[in-house]
Structure 1
Amino acid sequence: MTPWGRFGVALHTDSAELVVAAMPLGHLRNPVTDAVALGPLAVLADFAAGLVNYHRRSTGEWTVTGELNLEFTPDAHAVVAGNPDIPAIATAVPIGGRAATSLSECRITYGDNVIGTATVRSVHFTPDGELSHDLDLHSRDEEPRDLATIMSLSVIAAADGPPLLRQDPHPEINNPLGVVHGGVAATGLELASSALLHTTGGANLRTATMQVTYRYPFLAGAESHYTARPVRLGRSSGSTDSTAIGADARPAITARITAYR
C-alpha cells in the first residue's frame, strides 16, 4: 500500500498532458480541532501535479517535489462540510518547458464547485538505484478513515499550548525513497498550523494558502514531529510558519500557512 492508496486516491486520466485524480475528503478531520481538514488536499495535488511532472522526466531520471503551493477558495471549508460524501477532483496540466525542474498546476473541484488551485515544482535527478513506480492505488476494506490513523500521527497533549503532533513511522506513508511522502508531510504542517491558531484565539480561522518548501528528506522516527509558530494573528487573519522535524532532529520541510475568517 502506498500513501495514495491509503488516502483513497483514484486515478481517472494519466498522460503527459493531463492527469485527473479523485480523493475522498469530507470525512478527514483535524484530530485537534475536529474541523474539516483541507490539508489532505496536498496529497491529492502532489499526486496529480507531481505525476504530470514525472511524465516529463528523461530516461533514468526520477522526480521529487521541491515546492508545493495551494490556494483554497473562501468557501472551501463550507462546501466540503456541507456535502462530505463526494470526492475532491484534481485536474493537473504542465506549465511551460522543463530544465532541472518542471512545473505543473492543478484545479481542485468538489462537485460543481472549484475549491482550490495548486502548483507543484518537481526536481529531476538520477537515483543511485532503481526505484519502483507502482502507484498501488487499491485500498483495503479495513483501511482507517480517521486522519490521525491514516497518517500514523500521534496527538500528545501539552501542558501549555497546542498538542504535539508526532509523526510515527509507517511504511505506507513513505514514498519510494523511503521517507515520508511530501503530501502527507504537508498535511501534517497544515494540521499543526490550524491547531496552533485554534488554541491562540483563532478558532474561526480557516486555512487559505499553503506555501510548502521541501529542504531535506523527512525521516519518521521517535523524535519526528510537526510544529508551528505564530507569525501574525489579527482579527480577520492569521499566519504561521510550520516545520516538519525529522528523526535526525533536522528541519526537513517548512511551510508558511495563512488563514482567514
Structure 2
Amino acid sequence: MTSTAGPVGEQPVRDAQAGGPGGVPMPRRPSSLSRRFRVELPAFVGDTVRATIHPGPWSCWPAGQSSAGAFGVALDNVLGVSTLRVRPPGHRTVTAEISLDVLAPERLYYGTLVAVGQILRLDATGGFARCDLVNGAETTVAAGIGRFQFAPLPVSRPGAPRPPAPPNGVPEPDMEPATGRDLAEILNAWVEPGDLRARVVVNDPSELGNPSGTIHGGVLFCVSELAASALVRPGGEQTRSVRMNFLRPGRVDTPLVVTAEVVHRGRTATVCRTAAAGPDGRPYAVATVTRLVPGGTVEASPPAQRGGGSEHLDGPTIREML
C-alpha cells in the first residue's frame, strides 16, 4: 500500500504549467529509490504527468530478459502524482490496486521510456488513474491502471520536526549509473527458483521505502513480478500482465518475503499467484501474474509435479498466508 501526502508544492514533481517549457523544478529532488530504478522527476504536462525511465541491464531478470516489474516504481510514482491535483484538502491518496498489461515486451529494454499518467475517473472516495509506458516512437509498450482512495492526513504532533527542503533553483542531479548488474542485484534480493513454487527474499528492505516509512508499492510490485519470473519453464516465458492488490503497509525493518505459486500452466501460458509478506506471514500485497511463452507455442512437456526445484522451499503457502 502506498500513499501520497502533503501539499502539492512539497511533492517530487515539476509543474510544467508554473513556468516555461520543460517545467520549473519543485523544491524536492528525486528520491534515492527513484534514482536506483532510473526514474526521473515527474512533471505535470497539461492534464498528464510524465516521467522518463532509463531501462538497461539493471531492468532485466534473468539476464537478457526485460522485467515488467522493473517499472513498478515508475508506475506507482506517476499514478500517485496524478492524484495530487484532485484530492480533497486535508487528504492523502492511498493506492489500493495496480495493474499492468505488457503489449510489446521486446520494446521494454531499448532506449528511454516515458511513463504518462492521467486521471480516468473520480468520486467522493477516490478514483482511477491510467499510466502508459511509451517509447521514443510514441508507441505504447505497456498500459497500467491504478485505483486509489482518499484518506485524511494524519495529525502531526505539535512541535514535530520537519525535514528541510532543498532551496528553489537547485539543479536536478544527473541520473546516476545503475548500481546493479540485474534486477535482483538492484533489490539486493535472494531468488529461489522452482517449477511450481518460487520465492524471493529481501533481507534488508530499509532502502526500499517511501517517505511515509513503509515499503514502496512499486517495490512490492517489482519483487512480486520477479518471484513469478522465477517459476521455471523450459523455453522460458514473458510476463504479460500483473494485477496487484495492496492489503496493508509493508515494513522496512523486517525481511520481505515474496512467494509465487503456479495456479495453471497450459501449453502457451502460466497463471500464478504471488504474496508479499513479512516474517509473520501476514501479506502486504497479493497479485495474479500471467506469463506467456514467446511466440505463443511450446512443446508438450510432462505435467509439473510438486518437488524438484521447489523442494527446498519452506515457509507457509499462499493459501495459508491468506
- Do they superpose with TM above 0.5? yes
TM-score (norm 2): 0.69
The CA deviation string for residues 194-236 of structure 1, in whole angstroms up to 9 with x for no partner, is 111xx2x254221111100001111245542111010111111
Rounded Cα–Cα distance in structure 2 between residues aligned with 1:115 and 1:160: 29
| Counterpart residue number, 1:9 | 39
Deviations 1:145-203 (A, max 9, x none): 33223323233x4798766311233443101221110011101110101111xx2x254
Corresponding residue number in structure 2 for 1:51: 81
1:243 to 275, 279, 286: 275
1:42 aligns with 2:72: yes
The residue number in structure 1 matching 2:116 is 91
* Paired position in structure 2 for 1:151: 187
Larger Rg: 2
Q: How far did 1:27 drift?
A: 2.2
Q: Secondary structure at the match of 2:69?
A: coil
1:228 to 242, 247, 260: 260
Deviation per CA, 1:79-106, whole angstroms, max 9, x where unpaired? 234x3xx221111111122321221112
Q: Secondary structure at the match of 2:207?
A: helix
C-alpha distance in 1 between matches for 2:42 and 2:212: 25
Q: Which runs of 5+ in 2 are unaligned?
A: 1-30, 157-161, 167-171, 294-322
If asked which structure has higher relative contact order (CA below 8 Å, sep 6+), I would say 1
Query: What RMSD, in angstroms, separates the aligned Cα atoms of the two structures?
Result: 2.9
Please say if 1:102 is aligned against 2:137.
Answer: no
The runs of at least 4 consecutive aligned structure 1 residues that moved more than 3 Å come to 29-34, 129-132, 137-143, 157-164, 220-223
Distance 1:63 1:187 in 2: 21
Q: TM-score, normalised by structure 1?
A: 0.84
Equivalent in 52, 62, 66 of residue 96 of structure 2: 66
Counterparts in 2 of 1:111 and 1:234: CA distance versus 1, 3 Å: same
Letter in structure 2 aligned against 1:72: V
Query: Closer, same or farther in 2 for the Cα pair 1:202/1:176, shift >3 Å?
Result: farther
CA contact (8 A) 1:43 1:183 kept: yes
Alpha-carbon distance in structure 1 between the residues aligned to 2:176 and 2:60? 23
- With over 3 angstroms needed to count, the CA separation of the structure-2 counterparts of 1:194 and 1:158, relative to structure 1, is closer
Aligned length: 252
1:209 and 2:234 aligned = no
The 1:181–1:12 alpha-carbon spacing in structure 2 relative to 1, beyond 3 Å, is closer
SS in 1 for 2:81: helix
The structure where strand makes up a greater share of residues is 1
